[in-house]
Amino acid sequence: MLTIAVSKGRIYDDALPLLAEANIIPIDDPKTSRKLILRTNHDDVKLVIIRATDVPTFVEYGAADLGIAGKDVLIEHQSDNLYEPLDLKIACCKLMTAAPTDAPEISGRIRVATKYVKTAERYFAGKGIQAEIIKLYGAMELAPIVGLADCIVDVVDTGNTLRANGLEPRELIMNISSRLVVNKASMKMKHQLIQPLIDQFEKTLAQR
Ligand code: AMP
């Protein structure tokens, strides 16, 4: 049995064609079904569609053999127990700082709202900036508007969400794409199942 954990939403949508090229096709549709475990065209392969931040945890503990998750989530999770053999180059975006449009640079201690607490801490420490990091679970854009923070750290794609909330992108922290991650024990025990899958993904990516 092979279990693949995939972040729901944008990453799942972008991963579907890649999985299809590797002849893994879900039978259940997560948009219409409430099932959390999706059957596929192979009896011994199933997909679990879960929150992005839970994917590394599932794979690390072996609840899933493989996972597809954004690099933003993986660097925040910081685990040595995962192999990351492949950049799938899907769901690309940028991890950035953003602040109210035309707001002056703040000198001294700043307040930063983000769900990427560890990554933000490392980033600002690396720049020698004193930052108080405020953990939020969503709607980061709201924080500067209501005076909760001076700026945010979030993933940005088109920038439309920032602009719609009177914010502008400032500094690029990191380019983000989704990665394939593999449980270390599974890589050894199920090598004959997993390696061909990695090879197929690699082939598909090379043809894109
Ligand atoms: P945007 O296109 O910049 O307006 O992005 C819309 C929202 O989707 C932002 O608030 C981001 O948090 C989120 N987002 C954008 N790209 C990604 C991605 N690749 N993975 C996960 N979330 C994303």
Question: DSSP string of 73-97?
Answer: HHHHH--SSEEEEEE---S-EEEEE
Structure tokens at 110: 């700043």
Element holding 183 (H helix, E strand) = strand 178-183
Q: In what order do the strands lie in the sheet with 167-176?
A: 131-135, 110-114, 151-156, 93-100, 167-176
For residue 32, the model assigns a pLDDT of: 87
Structure tokens at 191: 């090598």
Span from the CA of 201 to the centroid of ligand 1 (angstroms): 24
Q: Which atom of ligand 1 is nearest to the CA of 11?
A: 20
Structure tokens at 29: 């549709």
Mutate to test the pocket of ligand 1, among 136, 158, 161 (most ligand atoms within 8 A of CB): 161
Pairing outcome for strands 151-156 and 178-183: unpaired
For residue 19, the model assigns a pLDDT of: 96
Ligand 1, atom 10: nearest CA belongs to which residue?
Answer: 161
Does the beta carbon of 74 sit less than 6 angstroms from any atom of ligand 1? no
For CATH 3.40.190.10, the residue range(s) in the chain are: 2-91+177-207, 93-175
- Tell me the CATH class for 2-91+177-207: alpha beta
Mutate to test the pocket of ligand 1, among 6, 156, 177 (most ligand atoms within 8 A of CB): 156
Pairing outcome for strands 93-100 and 131-135: unpaired
Does the beta carbon of 161 sit less than 6 angstroms from any atom of ligand 1? yes
For residue 81, the model assigns a pLDDT of: 87
Does the beta carbon of 160 sit less than 6 angstroms from any atom of ligand 1? yes
For residue 33, the model assigns a pLDDT of: 86
Q: Which atom of ligand 1 is nearest to the CA of 158?
A: 2
Ligand 1, atom 19: nearest CA belongs to which residue?
Answer: 91
Burial class of residue 169 (count of CB atoms within 10 Å of its CB; 0-12, 13-18, 19+): middle
For residue 119, the model assigns a pLDDT of: 98
DSSP SS3 for 48: strand
Residue listed under structure tokens 């180059």: 89
Q: Which atom of ligand 1 is nearest to the CA of 52?
A: 21
In this structure, how many other beta carbons lie within 10 angstroms of the beta carbon of residue 149?
Answer: 23
For residue 90, the model assigns a pLDDT of: 97
Does the beta carbon of 70 sit less than 6 angstroms from any atom of ligand 1? yes
Ligand 1, atom 6: nearest CA belongs to which residue?
Answer: 161
Pairing outcome for strands 151-156 and 110-114: parallel
Report the CATH fold assignment for 93-175: D-Maltodextrin-Binding Protein; domain 2 (3.40.190)
The C-alpha atoms of residue 58 and residue 66 are separated, in whole angstroms, by: 9
Q: Give, for all 208 residues of the chain, the pLDDT tens digit.
A: 999 999 999 999 999 999 999 999 999 888 888 898 999 999 999 999 999 999 999 999 999 999 999 999 999 999 888 999 999 999 999 999 999 998 988 888 999 999 999 999 999 999 999 999 999 999 999 999 999 999 999 999 999 999 999 999 999 999 999 999 999 999 999 999 999 999 999 999 999 8
For residue 171, the model assigns a pLDDT of: 97
Span from the CA of 156 to the centroid of ligand 1 (angstroms): 5
95 with 155: CB under 8 angstroms? yes
In this structure, how many other beta carbons lie within 10 angstroms of the beta carbon of residue 138?
Answer: 8
Burial class of residue 80 (count of CB atoms within 10 Å of its CB; 0-12, 13-18, 19+): exposed
The C-alpha atoms of residue 207 and residue 177 are separated, in whole angstroms, by: 18
Please, where are the H alpha helices in 127-170?
A: 142-145, 160-164
pTM here is 0.95
